[in-house]
């Protein structure tokens, strides 16, 4: 399994201009390959010649040769396109091997990731990489863990700055084919909890709701603090506070996503099913700007963490249309906003009751089964809802019958505990 991580440069030695010069040389090399091919030279000769003349190190020139010949092969296979000739793109990427072409390392004192890019032979650009905590953590894992390999990277120009796109490969992870999945794991992500259900073609296997009230609470608190700083014009301080908040939320989401994947792993041939967040959720009131900002971030990030952690365990993911997952009854299909009241779902048509987020997770499973052309079993008699709390709460017996646990949810707040 290979993924591409994206970084910005914080340049300490060398310059942006040097990266530009390296890109122009990469473009020249590729254009030369196209021209020589057009003139009828064989590829082995072309390779020797361009390596000889290139101002890039040998490895980099070879990677550029591979890229150019890929394009040529596509042209010869499907000859509807014109022969690739001149490439005029000024932002042509430099493609490099880890080692000679570029080098990454973790600085133990600062915990930053240092880079050295060989922009041209004997011409280096050095500094540290910037990115989301997520991608920084992933590249650190790739550099230190034996199961990982850091592969080719490209220097890419994005408007006025450069980016480094690094391919990292997990040597063993092979993600199962979702067509062969047996257990559909519905994941309903909310601001304060995630509802999980495991459903096969023959019925509901299990379900759980994992609460993480600390994430919601912390985000609200930080939001208020940042607002105050904004009005006081303390922008530097605001950025610091924002970083602090992101680190906290990020760590929590990592732990929660690990719990979700562990839960999914106990079932036979699981596939994880999410709502497709590209479509706006129907059930959140986006009435105020505050609501929008509070709700926006963690959904996508948690899904992202879950799907790549799952992929490392060989578990595939699938996305479904999120429309009305919070309002539709799993028993009779009646769909209306008034079916839902906070964490309580009660169908106004047939009376079916459930914990709203567990029910949403069941419906996500049903949509996943449908999408992969499977039989959808009856979902109207699900097992007891178990509610676990992520974080430091005390352990409580966690099983309830669905109705009393929905009632109990608001009155006595009985919850179990889960920590990583
Ligand atoms: Zn109903």
Domain final position from 124, 152, 170:
170
- Is 277 within 8 Å of 190 (Cβ atoms)? no
How far apart, in whole angstroms, are the C-alpha atoms of residue 377 and residue 402?
19
What letter would DSSP give residue 384? P
Q: How far is the CA of 276 from the centre of ligand 1 (A)?
A: 24
Same domain, 249 and 386: yes
* Same domain as 390, residue 262: yes
Q: What is the pLDDT of residues 114-135, one digit of tens each?
A: 999 999 999 999 999 998 888 8
- Contact call for residues 147 and 172 (beta carbons, < 8 A): yes
Q: Are residues 200 and 298 in the same domain?
A: yes
User: What's the 369 CA to ligand 1 centre distance in angstroms?
Assistant: 20
| Same structural domain, 260 and 375 | yes
Ligand 1 center from residue 355 Cα (angstroms): 14
In whole angstroms, how far apart are CA 161 and each of 15, 19, 20, 103? 11, 10, 10, 20
CB 99, CB 59: distance < 8 Å:
yes
Ligand 1 centroid, distance to 315 Cα (angstroms): 32
pLDDT on residue 311 = 87
Q: What are phi and psi of 367, to 5 degrees?
A: -65, -35
Centre of ligand 1 from the C-alpha of residue 267, in Å: 28
Ion ligand 1: residues, CB < 5 A: 329, 331-332, 334, 347, 349-350, 352
In this structure, the answer to whether residues 188 and 164 fall within a common structural domain is no
Find the 351 Cα to ligand 1 centroid distance in Å: 6
143 and 19 co-located in one domain: yes
Distance 273 CA to ligand 1 centre (A): 23
Instruction: Compute, in angstroms, the gap from residue 39 CA to the centroid of ligand 1.
Output: 72
pLDDT tier at 264, thresholds 50, 70, 90: very high
CA 328 to centroid of ligand 1, rounded, Å: 8
- Domain co-membership, 310 together with 398: yes
Same domain? For 60 and 89 the reply is yes
Beta strands in 121-233 (DSSP E): 123-130, 148-158, 161-170, 183-189, 193-200, 203-211
Mean pLDDT, to the nearest integer, of 369-388? 92
| Least confident range of 126-140, 239-253, 267-281 | 239-253
Cβ-proximal residues to 153 (8 Å cutoff; 6+ apart), any chain: 95, 96, 98, 101, 102, 164, 165, 166, 167
According to the model, what pLDDT value does residue 57 have? 96
Where residue 182 falls among pLDDT bands split at 50, 70, 90? very high
What distance in angstroms lies between residue 202's CA and the mean position of ligand 1's atoms? Answer: 21
Containing structural domain, residue 409: 178-418
Distances (CA, A) of 366 to 67, 184, 349, 377: 43, 8, 20, 8
Distance 416 CA to ligand 1 centre (A): 29
Average pLDDT over residues 206-219: 87
The whole-number average pLDDT for the span 67-80 is 77
Residue 261, pLDDT > 80, answer yes
Mean pLDDT of the chain: 84
Residues 157 and 203 in one domain: no
The candidate with the shortest Cα–Cα distance to 116, out of 21, 18, 6, is: 18
For residue 412, pLDDT beyond 60:
no
Higher pLDDT, 417 or 265: 265
Q: How far is CA 282 from the centre of its chain?
A: 22
Last residue of a domain, one of 154, 170, 186: 170
367/390 same-domain check: yes
Contact 407, 342 (CB under 8 A): no
Who wins on pLDDT, 227 or 177?
Answer: 177
pLDDT of 403 > 50? The answer is no
Ligand 1 centre from 400 Cα, in Å?
A: 21
Number of domains in the chain: 2
**Ligand 1: centre distance to CA 337 (Å):** 12
Q: Which sign, positive or negative, has the C-alpha torsion 143, 147, 152, 154?
A: negative
Cβ neighbors of 238 (< 8 A, separation 6 or more) are 226, 229, 230
pLDDT at 409: 37
Q: Residue 174 Cα, ligand 1 centroid: separation in angstroms?
A: 40
Q: From start to end of 295-390, where are the E strands?
A: 317-320, 340-341, 344-346, 353-355, 387-390
DSSP state of 332: T
Cα–ligand 1 centroid distance for 291 (angstroms): 30
Residue 314 CB neighbour total at 10 angstroms: 15
pLDDT digits (tens, 9 = 90+) for 337-351: 999 998 999 999 999
Residues with Cβ within 8 Å of residue 233, at least 6 apart in sequence: none
Ligand 1 centroid to residue 130 C-alpha, Å = 50
Mark whether 86 and 231 lie in a shared domain. Answer: no
Identify the band that residue 230 occupies on the pLDDT scale cut at 50, 70 and 90.
Answer: confident
Cα 363 from chain centroid? 23
What's the gap in Å between 362 CA and the centre of ligand 1?
14
Q: What is the mean pLDDT of residues 89-98?
A: 88
Q: How open is the CA angle 320-324-328, to the nearest 5 degrees?
A: 110
Percent of the chain with pLDDT over 70: 86
144 C-alpha vs ligand 1 centroid, how far in Å? 52
For residue 349, report the distance from its CA to the centre of ligand 1, in Å. Answer: 5
pLDDT over 60 (residue 399): no
pLDDT at residue number 296 = 54
State in Å: Cα 347 to ligand 1 middle. 5
**How far apart (Å, rounded) are the C-alpha atoms in residues 307 and 300?**
11
Q: How confident is the model at residue 173 (pLDDT cuts 50, 70, 90)?
A: low
Same domain, yes or no: 221 and 164: no
**Domain end position, chosen among 170, 191, 211:** 170
How far apart are the CA of 181 and the centre of ligand 1, in A?
28
């Amino acid at each position: 399994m290979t993924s591409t991580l994206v970084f910005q440069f914080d340049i300490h030695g060398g310059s942006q201009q040097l990266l530009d010069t390296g890109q122009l040389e990469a473009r020249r090399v590729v254009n030369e390959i196209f021209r020589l091919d057009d003139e009828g030279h064989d590829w082995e000769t072309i390779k020797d010649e361009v390596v000889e003349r290139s101002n890039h190190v040998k490895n980099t020139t070879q990677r550029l040769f591979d890229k150019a010949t890929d394009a040529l092969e596509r042209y010869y296979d499907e000859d509807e396109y014109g022969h690739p000739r001149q490439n005029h793109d000024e932002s042509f990427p430099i493609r490099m091997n880890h080692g000679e072409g570029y080098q990454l390392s973790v600085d133990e004192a600062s915990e930053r990731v240092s880079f050295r890019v060989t922009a041209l032979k004997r011409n280096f650009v050095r500094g540290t990489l910037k990115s989301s905590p997520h991608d920084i953590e992933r590249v650190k894992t790739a550099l230190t863990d034996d199961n990982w390999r850091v592969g080719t990277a490209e220097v890419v120009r994005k408007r006025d700055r450069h980016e480094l796109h690094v391919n990292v490969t997990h040597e063993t992870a092979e993600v199962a084919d979702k067509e062969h999945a047996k257990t559909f794991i519905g994941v309903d992500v909310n601001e304060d909890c995630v509802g999980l259900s495991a459903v096969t073609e023959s019925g509901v296997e299990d379900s759980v709701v994992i609460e993480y009230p600390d994430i919601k609470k912390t985000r609200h608190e930080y939001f208020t603090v940042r607002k105050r700083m904004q009005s006081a014009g303390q922008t530097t301080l605001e950025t610091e506070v924002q970083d602090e908040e992101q680190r906290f939320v990020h760590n929590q989401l990592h732990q929660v996503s690990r719990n979700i994947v562990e839960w999914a792993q106990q079932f036979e041939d699981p596939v994880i099913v999410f709502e497709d967040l590209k479509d706006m959720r129907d059930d959140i009131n986006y009435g105020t700007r505050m609501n929008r900002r509070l709700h926006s971030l963690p959904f996508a990030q948690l899904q992202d963490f879950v799907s790549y952690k799952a992929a490392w365990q060989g578990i595939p993911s699938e996305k479904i249309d999120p429309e009305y997952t919070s309002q539709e009854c799993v028993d009779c299909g009646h769909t209306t906003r008034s079916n839902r009241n906070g964490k309580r779902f009660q169908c106004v048509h047939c009376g079916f009751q459930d914990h709203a987020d567990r029910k949403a997770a069941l419906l996500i499973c049903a949509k996943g089964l449908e999408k992969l052309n499977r039989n959808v079993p009856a979902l109207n008699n699900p097992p007891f809802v178990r509610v676990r709390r992520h974080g430091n709460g005390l352990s409580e017996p966690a099983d309830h019958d669905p109705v009393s646990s929905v009632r109990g949810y608001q009155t006595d707040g009985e919850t179990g505990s889960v920590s990583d």
